[in-house]
Amino acid sequence: MANKGVTKIADLLENDLSRPIEVVVNVTNNDPAGIREIVGLRVLRKKESQQDVLRKLFREHGESLNQNVKLEQCPRCTEFNEDEFVRLYPYVPHLIDISLDIVAGIRLDPSAPRQLTDGNGVIVKQSFEMIASARTRLVDQPVGVLVSIDKIYDLLEESLPPEKRESISLIRERFEQYLGYPGTPARVAKAICLMEFVKTGLPRTTKNVAALLVQRVTETPPVGVVAGILHQLKEAHLVVETENGWKLRDLDELRRATAALEQIKDAVGTVNPRLPGWHNDLIQLGKKSLARALNWYTRPMREFSASASRALKEIAWVLERLTTEMNSLERRSRKWDALENIPMDVVALEMRMACSEKTNAALARSMQEQIQLLREQVTLLLSLQNAAHLEVPSASVPASVPDGLASRKTAYVMGLCGTGRTYVCELIQQNMGERAKYFRDGIRFHTGPTPMIYSGHSTMKYVSRYQHAPEVTNRLMEAVRSGFADVIFIYRHPFDSLLTNWVYWRTYIRDYTGGGAVSLVYPNVDDLCADLERNFLEFKTFTEGDPAFFAAAEPGPPFLSFAEFVEETELYLQSPVRLTLRLEDFKTNPLREFSKIAEVMSIELDLHALRLAPPQTASYGYRAVKDKVPQFRDFIEGLNAETKRRIERIGYEF
């Protein structure tokens, strides 16, 4: 078949995208239907031989797609049929209409740069740039990818008011790694920013923001994630919820209040006009006489209004200055964050020098020069910080390390996904005393020993979604072999991890909210078993590491297959890690297991004074599922011999 090799959007399009189109639009009055027709013909026209690909895609997902991109409390028609989908793909039809309104709103904004001319022509040109420009380049994306409103922002960014762009930049920098959804806070802010330019017919509700961010035909709107991000942005005073929905926090309201007060302040004590006529003229004469008689009363009101107007202007000016300066300080503070670990590197170099100076004096002198250079850099940075009146953020590493911690090895608390690492890290943060100040959820490498404690997921052999690549693990093991780092590995029964990971990922893909522990998603084991039985083919796809399981998620590698997961666990146990801990043992005696961590980190704690809660997750919970779901039992019994042997070698039974 002619469409057999279709993999990218470029394969669908008939038009030549190698050079910009000449935009000549003869549509007046911002007619959305006419603009859609021109965009479909001039830019998005599909090859007849390839249209079946899109028609098949719509028949399979069109009903759910219409629901996923539907806007609430909105008079716009957001439903579309198969022909409209084929003609305007990768746009959904109403997004072109919204683009038209956005451009019209930007052109009316007095603070926006004057870069937009004819709105109709802009939309046609924008659709071409959406497909072909380097900023979005949808032509290289696989079939199934859609235009989302944040991509429209990327094309219009230079035409937006500077204050809006500054707000987006600030949110991008402060919330880049929000809860494992990198870049999503900035996408949410971009959506709100453009929606503000649409004056009517587009409520800025959480659901509408999520619907406009859908970027794949198979994707559900990330309502839960958007709601969480908006809550965080609201707490940070970066967005505000108004009667029209969410809004980027700026000085527009204050400016409008100032302008309104300026208009009405001169009306205090004046007489309202009336229609011509002798009787109205007589009434007006009486009112003017009364107004003059009450001048002693209205004069202070006029003075007050004028004073209030001047005060609001001053407040607006000061707030604009403060906003600019605070954003500047914010960026400089983050630059300081990037240098926060220089003192740790100094300590590491000093310790390595002490070990090597007995055998290599020349190397020691070289390292001493490096230390001196680093100290000079730190001194210079501190002086610059003081001059700018900056404070080191609370998350920074203290510049001075207590003597009792200075000689400690860098510790890495590692585990594969779904093994209980988070529980162990919480114990460390809550009970490790002074050393807990140096805990970071993430992985960073140093040139020698430090008191830092890092934690994360990584694999030793296979590349896996949301886990650091084997290259990272190799560097960890090199640090262990060099003698200036320790790795603590957390693991649990692979079948329990398998169920946890399946529940997490299917929940994440469905509504973009990772469920975490199985008990948080299912109130009891019967509900879990019923869901597993209904969706066992999906479960089987997940256990095989099939990329199709992640087709509706963002691009990236699949998760480990079950066989790979077991092999990765065995490889960790065979590696030079300092300590291996089973989550099941924390269930039995958390104090005993935690004392092993304290011993590795050379921390003296009064363990008898600690009251440690065991993990909430059930140990060997897979057994109840095995008894209730015959297909799960058959899956376990049908594992290949090598995987079974590996499970036994890491210390578990079936």
Give the integer Cα–Cα distance in Å for 533 and 539: 9
The reported pLDDT for the residue numbered 336 is: 46
The reported pLDDT for the residue numbered 407 is: 54
Highest CATH level, class, for 403-649? alpha beta
Give the integer Cα–Cα distance in Å for 104 and 81: 27
The reported pLDDT for the residue numbered 386 is: 46
The reported pLDDT for the residue numbered 399 is: 45
pTM: 0.49
Assign 399 to helix, strand or coil: coil
Q: Is the dihedral of CA 287, 291, 294, 297 positive or negative?
A: positive
Question: So where are the chain's domains?
Answer: 9-250, 256-335, 342-387, 403-649
User: Alpha carbon of 424 to those of 48, 481, 486, 612, 617: distances in Å?
Assistant: 58, 24, 16, 11, 13
Percent of the chain with pLDDT over 90: 41
CB atoms within 10 A of CB 246: 24
Token pair in block for residue 641:
């011999």
CB-based contacts of 226-233 (< 8 A; 24+ apart in sequence):
226/188, 228/179, 228/513, 229/175, 229/178, 229/181, 229/184, 229/185, 229/188, 230/188, 230/206, 232/175, 232/178, 232/185, 233/171, 233/175, 233/185, 233/188, 233/189
The reported pLDDT for the residue numbered 545 is: 93
Do the beta carbons of residue 451 and residue 343 sit within 8 Å? no
Which helix (H) or strand (E) segment holds residue 285: the answer is helix 278-293
Q: What count of Cα atoms within 13 Å lies in the side-chain half-sphere of residue 382?
A: 10
Assign 410 to helix, strand or coil: strand
The reported pLDDT for the residue numbered 449 is: 87
Do the beta carbons of residue 91 and residue 39 sit within 8 Å? yes
Give the integer Cα–Cα distance in Å for 207 and 68: 10
Torsion-angle region of 421 (φ positive above 0: left; ψ -120 to 50: alpha; else: beta): alpha
Cis peptide preceding 576, ω within 30 of 0: no
Closest CA to 597 of 490, 477, 472, 491: 490
Q: Write out residues in the chain with pLDDT < 50, as ranges.
A: 1-4, 23-29, 330, 333-340, 358-359, 384-399
Per the DSSP assignment, residues forming a β-bridge with 412 are: 454, 487
Strand order in the sheet with 579-582: 439-441, 453-456, 410-415, 485-491, 579-582
